[in-house]
Amino acid sequence: MNKKLAAALSGGAVLAVALTGCSSGDKGNPKLDAWAKQVCDAVPAQDAKIKAANAAITKTASDTSNPPATIQKTDSKAFQDMSDGYKALGAAISGAGAPPGVDDGTKRQQAAVKNLNDLSSAYADLKKKVDALDTKSQGKFATGLHDIATQMTDLQKQSQSGTVALQALEQGDVKDAIAKQASCKKVSTSDSGSATAG
């Protein structure tokens, strides 16, 4: 039953890589570059945390001999890490403020922060649900895990809207400023298979 959960997770839980773009060669805006550095410096650690959480759930799901208590412990920690990761990304974008000199910068920044915070809350909620599962009854545990996997599928849609919000934030000059940051390049190169590469 945990395989369904793993499949739901692997489909779109990582959207930090949406913050990595390809440079189209820009003239440079020191204020915007400083903003991009502040945002990008938060990305690699959180991206790694979210990916590790995904990997832990997938690994646990692929081992059918894992008892419910092991699955519960792994999934609980993974959901907490995802919640923390998205919250930290939201805090980084919020703390950086609106990208300077960008039309609708405040609106785009707020939309990205809201999506990241909503994702953080959703994963915190999943952690509570996984923690409440009955590990003494295989049947009840499997049913509960099935319900969580269904919620994960819904969460994928939310994750996709978060990716859209981040991509909207990183249009034009913002994309160029982000593309110059070593910390965002690091995430981009580690995700060479990602559709976000430009």
pLDDT for position 14: 45
pLDDT for position 2: 57
Give me the amino acid identity at 18.
A
The whole-angstrom separation of Cα 104 and Cα 67 is 50
Q: With CA atoms as reference, report the closest residue to 57 among 34, 36, 76.
A: 76
pLDDT for position 180: 85
Which are the contacts of 106, defined by CB distance < 8 A and separation ≥ 6?
A: 98
pLDDT for position 149: 84
Which are the contacts of 179, defined by CB distance < 8 A and separation ≥ 6?
A: 20, 21, 22, 23, 185
So where are the chain's domains?
2-8+29-190
pLDDT for position 155: 83
The CA-atom distances, in angstroms, between 102 and each of 56, 63, 107, 138 are 39, 49, 10, 54
pLDDT for position 171: 79
The whole-angstrom separation of Cα 103 and Cα 92 is 20
pLDDT for position 181: 84
* Residues of the chain under the 70 pLDDT cut: 1-28, 186-198
